[in-house]
Amino acid sequence: MIRAARPADYPAIQDIEQRAGQAFRTVGMDAIADDDPFSDAELDAYTASGRAWVSTDQADKPTAYVLVDIIDCMAHIEQVTVDPAHARKGLGALLIEHVDGWAREQRLDGLSLTTFVEVPWNAPYYERLGFRRLAPEQLDAGLKAVRSHEAELGLDRWPRTAMARPLAEPLEPLQP
Ligand SMILES: CC(C)(COP(=O)(O)OP(=O)(O)OC[C@H]1O[C@@H](n2cnc3c(N)ncnc32)[C@H](O)[C@@H]1OP(=O)(O)O)[C@@H](O)C(=O)NCCC(=O)NCCS
């Protein structure tokens, strides 16, 4: 099931991030695998504003999580990560669909994210979920700032792109 993340989930979320990140070693991106997971304070910002969800197993233990910002009227997927023990069962796609439903409720315009172009489970994966790459000149101010910050952090050592997709279903017209 998918539910809102809460502070008691932080150790599991941090453990998932640390273990899932190891996959980046297989493509020579050790620096990404070595990244520190989100701190409790960083996670607080997402849980306190209702923009963090986990999928859970039958014991209510997190198996995957997603963190979302609101940028340029879009639900921006800051991070989606699946426990490697539960990978390739559709949990990543399920969480993204959950965010899509939330974005519709919030009257946002769509979903966005930034990701690595050449990592098989990054841009090619999101393309299969309906995301399209955005050229630098297509970025609004918020996403431009995200990309600049990422460049400052050194993430552009590997080809990286912003991507977006519209909401899965159009909004019902509002009744007058
Ligand atoms: C990217 C990620 C969230 C996908 O979640 P998932 O639940 O495994 O993905 P889904 O089950 O929805 O989709 C599976 C598809 O993802 C792609 N995929 C997942 N892991 C992959 C891997 N190691 N290598 C290549 N493709 C992969 C494949 O297309 C796969 O389809 P297939 O199993 O039919 O080949 C997950 O692999 C993950 O947490 N990765 C590490 C962290 C990360 O890179 N997060 C995204 C960047 S912020």
Distance, CA of 127 to CA of 155 (rounded, Å)? 20
Atom of ligand 1 nearest to the CA of 91: 7
pLDDT tens-digit readout, 22-75 = 999 999 999 999 999 999 999 999 999 999 999 999 999 999 999 999 999 999
Alpha helices in the chain (DSSP H): 10-20, 30-33, 40-48, 91-105, 123-128, 141-152
pTM metric for this prediction? 0.94
Domains of the chain: 2-166 (3.40.630.30)
Under a CB-based contact definition with an 8 Å cutoff, are residues 167 and 100 in contact?
yes
Query: Ligand 1: which atom is nearest the Cα of residue 113?
Result: 48
Minimal-distance CA residue to ligand 1 atom 14: 88
Could you tell me if the CB of 89 is within 6 A of ligand 1?
yes
CA gap 133, 165 in Å, rounded: 9
- The residues, ordered by sequence, that sit 6+ positions from 146 with a Cβ below 8 Å of its Cβ are 71, 76, 114, 162
pLDDT, tens only, 75-123: 999 999 999 999 999 999 999 999 999 999 999 999 999 999 999 999 9
- 3-class DSSP state for residue 54? strand
Which residue among 16, 53, 121 has the greatest number of ligand 1 atoms within 8 angstroms of its CB, and so is best to mutate?
Answer: 121
Q: How confident is the model at residue 173 (pLDDT cuts 50, 70, 90)?
A: confident
Return all residues near 166 (Cβ < 8 A) that are at least 6 apart. Answer: 109, 110
Ligand 1 atom nearest to 89, measured from its CA:
11
